[in-house]
Amino acid sequence: MAIPASKTPELTSQAATDAALRTFFRIAQAWQLNAEESATLLGVPRSTMFRWKTGRAPAPLPRDTLERLSLVFGIYKALQVLLPVPERADAWLRRPNDAPLFGGRPALERMLTGMTSDLYVVRTYLDAQRGGWT
């Protein structure tokens, strides 16, 4: 069931910010990320990440953070589609990967370089594995 347009929060609203961060922290929990890893994926210092985790995030979020969130959400979705058993999907990030892109190292290691471009690379790889962007 679609949400009526009048009920959809604006991307710059506090409601959208709060929803996006709640979703991120649920994914971080499923992926068993520690505080440092979560902060790195968000591209913020740990103190900022902790402040945001307690519901004190600015609206709108910085553009870089929105891009990072979008990429993390896409990676999560792609894994859920490719590996429909949630535990397997969540564990995939930490397993060594023989794809040339990862050189035998886990995808999460690539994601934790701190560069948004590496999140993009992992997202693109997973989308290619499932047959395209959706």
List, for residues 59-68, the tens digit of each pLDDT value.
Answer: 899 999 999 9
The tokens for 54 are 């307690």
What is the average pLDDT across 5-20? 80
pTM: 0.89
pLDDT of 134? 47
Average pLDDT of the chain, as a whole number: 91
Task: Examine the pLDDT at 3 and tell me if it is beyond 70.
Answer: no
pLDDT of 131? 81
Contacting residues for 82 by C-beta, under 8 A, at least 6 apart = 89, 126, 129, 130
Give the largest CA-CA distance in the chain.
48
Contacting residues for 36 by C-beta, under 8 A, at least 6 apart = 46
Who has greater pLDDT, 82 or 8? 82
Who has greater pLDDT, 12 or 119? 119
Q: Tens of pLDDT along 28-74?
A: 999 999 999 999 999 999 999 999 999 889 889 999 999 999 999 99
